[in-house]
């Protein structure tokens, strides 16, 4: 199959799965949301105690295992790491802060938009703006440095973690948390969720689909290739939402959303900016982590930690709006992104103003 057909097919299938999972039990406009799923997993593990968002989502294990298996089969699994691991962990943390202020990852943003939630349009504007800022720093030579090959065992950590999480949700030991109300209590049957996750994992690994990459490449290299996937995802999700009767146009009373436009914009600004610095959206990070990229695996753990942090301290948004401290944290997150972007960009000093420092000279 040629690359263009594969990316369109992947977007289309994922758009359909994103709506189908709602029909099969997930909360409305919550068929796939990487940020929310990671937040639910943090809750299921008891890393935060927000009782309405605790469930170890089998979809995430599916994303990881699907991508891992297909990467192995395609000869694309390669353990590697060492590209600013701690910074990437922190960037994962920051991206999830933005996502939990908006209430969704870029993929859920597209699904929300396809179901008529116009707050997601405001989020999209922020996301595009964030990507644009990120591209500015790419042009300034922003880099987190290269990675290096590692022993295979490092690359197996994330898939093993995925199996562990899957066993926890199947065995349901007493120390695991399950929401009794709210979005965390609404889920498709475990095997269905797992299967859906596996399909998404395989498709994203093969097609390289990325919500941030699609828009980034449009601006950066005028290449619409990845964006075709985003477009197909949106269109199929739109038709599916209409067909299943989930489409509801407007700002008010949208499922698991708030109407505070400024913070919807700012939250997704942080997600877009952070995703460009990381080289991909949250889903793409999970897929790269499953292909053996331990830095992306660490980004996933950063997202998990960030989600726990946001709910542990009551910072995440809810349909009621964005808490005051949540607003402070997302502004700090934006400031941190700017600091990381500036400090990892190559600043070229014009020749006539630069002064040569003799080698060995101190200060």
Q: Is 10 in the site for another protein (CB under 8 A)?
A: no
Q: How many CB atoms lie within 10 A of CB 164?
A: 11
| Contact between 147 and another protein per CB under 8 A | yes
Q: How far is the CB of 282 from another protein (least distance, A)?
A: 15
| For another protein, the closer CB: 135 or 169 | 135
Of 11-19, 135-143, 159-167, 256-264, the window that binds another protein (rule: CB under 8 A) is 135-143
176 binds another protein (CB under 8 A): no
Distances, alpha carbon 29 to alpha carbons 6, 110, 242, 342, in Å: 25, 10, 12, 36
Q: Nearest approach, Cβ of 147 to another protein (angstroms)?
A: 5
Q: Which of 208, 258, 311, 327 contacts another protein by CB under 8 A?
A: 208
Residue 143 is a binding residue for another protein (CB under 8 A): yes
> How far is 258 from 102, CA to CA, in rounded Å?
8
Task: Report d(CA 199, CA 12) in Å as an integer.
Answer: 12
76 binds another protein (CB under 8 A): yes
Report whether 24 contacts 38 (CB < 8 A). no
Query: What token pair was written down for 220?
Result: 């950066």
**Radius of gyration in angstroms for the set of CA atoms belonging to the chain, rounded to a whole number:** 20
Q: Which is nearer to another protein, 192 or 220 (CB)?
A: 220
Tell me which residue has tokens 């401290």: 325
Is residue 148 within 8 Å of 85, Cβ to Cβ? no
Question: Interacting stretch for another protein, rule CB under 8 A, among 62-70, 142-150, 301-309, 330-338?
Answer: 142-150
- Collect all residues with Cβ–Cβ distance below 8 Å to 179 and sequence separation of at least 6: 40, 43, 51, 52, 53, 54, 55, 185
Other Cβ atoms within 10 Å of 40 Cβ, number:
29
Cβ-contact 296, 286 below 8 angstroms: yes
CA atoms within 13 A on the CB side of 70: 19
Q: Which of 9, 45, 129, 138 binds another protein (CB under 8 A)?
A: 138
* Contact map string, positions 26 to 65, toward another protein, x by CB under 8 A: ----------------------------------------
Which residue lies nearer to another protein by CB, 146 or 355? 146
Rounded-to-integer distance, Cα 102 and Cα 265, Å: 8
Closest approach of another protein to the CB of residue 267, in Å: 23
Q: How many residues bind another protein (CB under 8 A)?
A: 25
Q: Kindly tell me which of 74 and 163 has the beta carbon lying closer to another protein.
A: 74
Tell me how crowded residue 126 is: count the other CB atoms within 10 A of its CB.
26
The residue within the footprint of another protein, chosen from 86, 160, 189, 223 (CB under 8 A), is 223
Q: Is 146 in the site for another protein (CB under 8 A)?
A: yes
Q: Which of 44, 279, 306, 326 lies at the binding interface for another protein (CB under 8 A)?
A: 279
Per CB under 8 A, does 344 bind another protein? no
Q: Determine the Cα angle at 267 with ends 263 and 268, to 5°.
A: 120
Nearer to another protein, 83 or 266 (CB): 83
Interface stretch with another protein, choices 21-29, 212-220, 308-316, 340-348 (CB under 8 A): 212-220
Task: Return the SS3 of 293.
Answer: strand
User: Is residue 289 a contact point for another protein (CB under 8 A)?
Assistant: no
Considering beta carbons, is residue 16 or 78 the nearer one to another protein? 78
Please pick, from the candidates 28, 39, 57, 80, the single residue that binds another protein as defined by CB under 8 A. Answer: 80
Is residue 83 close enough to count as binding another protein by CB under 8 A?
yes
Contact 295, 82 (CB under 8 A): yes
180 touches another protein by CB under 8 A: no
Give the Å distances, CA to CA, from 235 to 84, 85, 123, 212: 37, 36, 18, 17
| Interaxial angle between packed helices 282-290 and 261-278, expressed in degrees from 0 to 180 and rounded to the nearest 10 | 30
- Residues found near another protein in the complex (CB under 8 A): 3, 76, 78, 80, 82-83, 138-139, 143-144, 146-148, 208, 213, 216-217, 220-221, 223, 225, 279-280, 288, 293
């Amino acid at each position: 199959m040629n690359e263009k057909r594969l990316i369109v097919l992947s977007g289309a299938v994922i758009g359909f799965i994103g709506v189908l999972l709602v029909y099969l039990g997930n909360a409305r406009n919550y068929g796939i949301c990487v940020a929310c799923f990671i937040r639910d997993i943090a809750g299921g593990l008891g890393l935060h105690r927000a009782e309405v968002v605790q469930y170890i989502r089998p979809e995430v294990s599916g994303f990881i295992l699907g991508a891992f298996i297909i990467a192995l089969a395609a000869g694309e699994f390669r353990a590697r790491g060492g590209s600013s691991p701690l910074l990437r962990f922190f960037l994962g943390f920051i991206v999830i802060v933005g996502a939990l202020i908006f209430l969704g990852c870029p993929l859920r943003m597209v699904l929300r938009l396809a179901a008529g939630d116009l707050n997601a349009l405001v989020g999209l504007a922020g996301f595009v703006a964030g990507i644009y800022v990120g591209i500015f720093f790419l042009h300034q030579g922003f880099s987190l440095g290269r990675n290096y090959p590692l022993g295979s065992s490092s690359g197996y950590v994330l898939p093993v973690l995925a199996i562990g999480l899957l066993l926890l949700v199947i065995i349901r030991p007493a120390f695991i948390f399950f929401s009794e109300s709210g979005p965390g209590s609404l889920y498709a049957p475990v095997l269905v969720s797992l299967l859906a996750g596996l399909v998404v994992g395989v498709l994203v690994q093969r097609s390289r689909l990325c919500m941030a990459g699609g828009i980034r490449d449009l601006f950066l290299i005028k290449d619409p290739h990845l964006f075709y996937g985003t477009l197909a995802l949106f269109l199929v999700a739109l038709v599916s939402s209409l067909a299943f009767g989930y489409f509801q146009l407007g700002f008010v009373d949208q499922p698991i959303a708030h109407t505070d436009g400024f913070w919807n914009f700012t939250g997704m600004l942080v997600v877009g900016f952070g995703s460009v610095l990381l080289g991909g959206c949250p889903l793409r990070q999970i897929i790269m982590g499953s292909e053996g990229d331990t830095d992306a695996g660490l980004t996933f753990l950063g997202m998990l930690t960030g989600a726990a942090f946001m709910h542990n301290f009551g910072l995440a948004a809810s349909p009621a709006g964005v808490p005051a401290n949540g607003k402070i944290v997302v502004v700090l997150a934006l400031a941190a992104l700017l600091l990381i972007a500036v400090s990892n960009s190559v600043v070229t000093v014009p020749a006539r103003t630069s002064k040569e420092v003799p080698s060995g000279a101190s200060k």
